[in-house]
Structure 1
């Protein structure tokens, strides 16, 4: 027993023996120094009150369970003050002894915790701006969502009167249920990217670039700290990397608050920066997202903010843009269509309709234009304006264009057998990317050979902007196709470059006048002299160069008659026929 007492008194840890009633039976010298009382003053004192264990229900329950034999031990870390009033972090351990007693030991872990806190601060903060970094920002965003969801639940219990009033009513109900600053259950964030920062880095060096980032950070913090806004609304300003910053509003009061904040940030950054003799001007683009926390994740919010930031840049930079669900739904639809284009070609989901090209002299069908349709399993029939642009962006236009060309030529070869004496030609639209990314000449030659269609019965249509800018490989391809006997038509002529000098050196066989000219012919009572003069001049010029002219978008007999008098060769439009399936073309023939 004497050995135990000697070890007890000489221990470096502060130790006390606690009875089953929770009162101190004995305390060693280190414990006496810690709390500033002699053993006589400690004997009979409440151990839970000395250590603050009563202040936390979990630790108090564990303390009682150990004393009553229901728990093997208790370990926790708490803050307490020593005899000199210094705040300490103390790790407490309570283990049972015989006779219903327990041994309480206290270990000062203040230095270790402070070191961990410093290391965490270094890990969680950006060294250039001293702002929270991406990791800490996501941690706080996740915490804000959790806290907001907890606030949302009691707010919903008192919001019956506001239900059914739409989005505005929902916000009013939430604010009424939680009168504290910020709307209960809502969070907001602004995702910011500097416009022109790369030029600063590239021309003046990274040292100046870092100074600029630090100065930007100070202005952002000043904006959010104004009038105590940062503390009131739980605002965090962070640098996410590069020239990207984010501002989290953990207790958002609605989109109006976020919009005002975004505008303040823009205004602050538009003021020039004076750095080491350099006067620098930058602006920012900001994506703003504000919504209820229910059902949200930190990743989803940041994706929405990233999308909105992209919109702000696409809309002209130096502005803030609010997340728009409809615009996002359109973007998601575009992404979904883009990702399924190639599989759709393999699944044979595309079909061709054909619009007749009518001879304005005798009214006969001279040719047809092939127009692709996507029979989408969920969205129904999609016209080319919904997916051709996407196909050009992701390269699917090459296999799709090859399929369209082969299908149209196969149909035209069949119609030639129906009308061998006066066969119709088929006109197929070709994207300029098909010329660059595939061997269009070889594809056309192979398809014509496989289908048996004479080259003269195939016409390829390219937009004016594509043809007029042709040089190098595209121009060579057009010349080889023309030499093969394939017709080359310029579609929507008059809307692009309209560089007439190109017509003298390009192998063009037909011009298709854009419908904007034809619409000026819509009324005999109110004719458009300017349009008529322009069309007449274009037709005369084309004919002098040996080029035929087709008028698009003809919708009335008056338009058709005036175009015939001017000298247009062929016309197409709803006056004659809409685009129809191949079977109906056979009946027209």
Structure 2
């Protein structure tokens, strides 16, 4: 006997269930009546189910027609059965062009067709989820289109077989955006060269390469690029950078090099292979000659000079950061040595420069943490009295890592980092405060001489600082000597001449440090209020010798002193007095005071006070 539900159709189902219910114990209705009731129930259920199916079908048709993405309905044999309006709009084919064509015919390339066929074969397997592929499909008018294709299945109808469905989304713009972002990540937008990120990735790959392989890292920096930018405008500067990029590519790309723009006017080249230092230098020198050939921007020929730092080494055993630092420091050394030249990495020089740059970088912290102090170097009269005529303020740095540092160790670096004005103000304010205390306590206290570094001498706030400190400390103005040199006098960035005149009106004494008679002409030319001279350098050093250089120095110093007297300057001192005999020779020429190793090293403020106290007691006795 068939079980309920085995025979399709509401009438058959109702008849079987009516017969069984009529036979059941306690049944009160005949089979015919039950059959009529059950048939009515079954027909009503069937009608409701059909209505639901019809509604679902209508929803599917509406969704299919209104969907913003292209939809392709396929037959079980893998051909196109129908396409929705969005698909027609997307690829601009008509339905008649597509119906009956293989689904794989939508793919634009054999590889895309193969990928689509694989997805269609896989999706029909039991339990498979929809699969997405990024494919290039054929466009009726534009040739091709990049699309994200989702491959799925739907029940196909009476055959019970799953039918494939393709859903296509246009990702051309998305791919273009992705490509743009990718280029931005790895490409310099101005020159088209790889950028720093891409360059570092390539360097990492080379450092992880074959053991024993050699690499060359070359840093190039345009000398005076700011002149081009400021003089001709940023547009001209950009064009120069593009021209430099093209020339670097032409020079290095035949050698399978990576050429990149790192930032601003800085470029880098990475070479790998079998080469020696000479090969790299030849390439660099050829490149420098090529770059020096003028490029024309708006009718103006612009020659480009570059400074170059070169590191050649085995790839193994180094990190990217180490090589970058080595190349940067080598490039800085090339610039410091005169620009428009190349330099090779040398370990000893590299270590020295790293020490220098670490010192320069820490100046600000040293100031904040009170590591700088002021010492005093005595200038002693050469008349045999050994009386201290002047003390010269000298800055020292008690560095936590490198110990005691003197100005020669950090002054140039302070100029580079912009810390010179802050250091100069510290020397001035501290030394004036110390000198004021000595003059309040001792009538024989020496003058204070402060040698101004050029960057501080041209500071427009210098007069205000001096005036403020004179008022604050009570130091008599005529006990302060401000010392400068010819470099500061001729520096075009400041108004040193006017500053010195104002200081002289305050009764501050002006001292000029000179190395030859030519420097004295600045006094005459600018009518400088100079009352003292300090002579240093080769003339003073040579006078200590007994050879021809000593005799020549004697003549030149005599001429210098004679010219100084003509200018009304009779008080002349010497810097660098080595011995008693040296001091005697200087005194015979008319130099009245001197400083140097003969008279001892710099001492602190407390020791100066002790010396003054001792001289005072000696005078009483």
Q: Give the TM-score taking structure 2 as reference length.
A: 0.64
1:17-416 matched pairs, under 5 angstroms: 26-28=78-80, 32-33=101-102, 35=104, 51-52=114-115, 67=125, 69=127, 72-78=129-135, 91-95=148-152, 103=164, 105=166, 107=168, 113=172, 116=175, 120=179, 133=189, 137-138=193-194, 142-143=197-198, 145-146=200-201, 149=204, 152-153=207-208, 155=210, 159=211, 173=212, 175=213, 188=217, 191=220, 193=222, 219-224=247-252, 226=254, 229=255, 233=256, 235=258, 246=267, 249=270, 256=277, 259-270=281-292, 280=301, 282-285=303-306, 287=308, 295-296=319-320, 319=341, 341=363, 344-362=366-384, 363-391=386-414, 396-416=419-439
Structure 1 unaligned residues grouped into runs of 5+: 18-23, 38-46, 126-130, 160-172, 176-182
Q: Aligned match of 1:560 in 568, 583, 590?
A: 583
Deviations, residues 65-99 of structure 1 (Å, cap 9, x unaligned):
99464x743212246999xxx99866443336679
Spell out, residue by residue over 1:419-440, the C-alpha distance to the aligned partner (whole angstroms, 9 max, x if none). 43x3322222234554543554
CA RMSD of the aligned region, Å? 5.5
Q: Is 2:548 the partner of 1:487?
A: no
Q: Residues of 2 paired with 1:245 and 1:406: CA distance?
A: 41
Conserved 8 A contact 2:574-2:595: yes
Distance across 2 between alignment mates of 1:457 and 1:275 = 58
Cα drift, residue 510 of structure 1: 1.4
CA shift at 1:307, angstroms? 7.7
SS of match in other structure, 1:437: coil
Q: Map 1:491-570 onto structure 2 (within 5 A).
A: 491-494=513-516, 497-499=519-521, 502=524, 505-524=527-546, 528-543=550-565, 545-570=568-593
Which whole-Å CA distance do the structure 1 matches of 2:432 and 2:284 have between them?
Answer: 57
Q: Secondary structure at the match of 2:599?
A: coil
Report if the CA contact (8 A) 1:262-1:286 is conserved: no
Q: Which residue of 2 aligns with 1:21?
A: none
Cα 1:262/1:543, change in 2 over 3 Å: closer
Distance across 1 between alignment mates of 2:101 and 2:546: 110
State the 1:452 CA deviation: 3.9
Structure 1 position 444 matched with structure 2 position 466: yes
Quote the Cα distance in structure 1 between the aligned partners of 2:510 and 2:167. 91
1:5-16 alignment to 2 at 5 Å? Answer: none
* CA separation of 1:522 and 1:284: change in aligned 2, threshold 3 A: closer
TM-score where L is the length of structure 1: 0.66
**Does the CA contact (< 8 Å) of 1:124 and 1:136 recur in 2?**
no
Shift of 1:560: 1.1
Q: Quote how far apart the aligned CAs of 1:541 are.
A: 4.0
Contact 1:287 1:323 in 2 (8 A): no
Cα deviation digits, residues 381-417 of structure 1 (max 9, x gap)? 2212233345456664445434323332333344446
Q: Shift of the alpha carbon at 1:191?
A: 4.7
Paired position in structure 1 for 2:606: 583
**Which of these two proteins has the greater Rg computed from alpha carbons?**
2
Q: Give the Å deviation of 1:565.
A: 1.8
Distance in 1 between the 2:453 and 2:199 partners?
49
**Are the equivalent residues in 2 in contact too, given 1:352–1:372 (CA < 8 A)?**
yes
Q: Which segment is superposed worse, 287-296 or 423-432?
A: 287-296
3-state SS of the aligned residue for 1:386? helix
> Per-residue deviation at 1:361?
0.9
Per-residue displacement from partner, 1:113-153 (whole Å, max 9, x unpaired)?
A: 4995599579959xxxxx963596456x6456446645654
Contact 2:459 2:494 in 1 (8 A): no
Q: How far did 1:513 drift?
A: 1.1
**Whole-angstrom distance in 2 between the partners of 1:429 and 1:77:** 74
CA distance in structure 1 between the partners assigned to 2:101 and 2:493 by the alignment: 93
How many residue pairs align between the two structures? 517
From 457, 472, 481, give the equivalent of 1:459: 481
State the alpha-carbon separation in 1 of the partners of residues 78 and 335 from structure 2.
71
- Does the aligned pair in 2 maintain the 1:66–1:74 contact within 8 Å? no
CA distance in 2: counterparts of 1:73 and 1:88, whole angstroms: 22
Distance 1:360 1:471, change over 3 A: farther
| Maintained 8 Å contact 2:374/2:604 | yes
* Structure 1 residues 320 and 348: CA distance shift in structure 2, 3 A: closer
* Alpha-carbon spacing, 1:466–1:35, altered in 2? closer, same or farther (3 Å): closer
Q: Shift of residue 587 of structure 1?
A: 4.0
User: Could you say which residue in structure 1 is the equivalent of 2:13?
Assistant: none
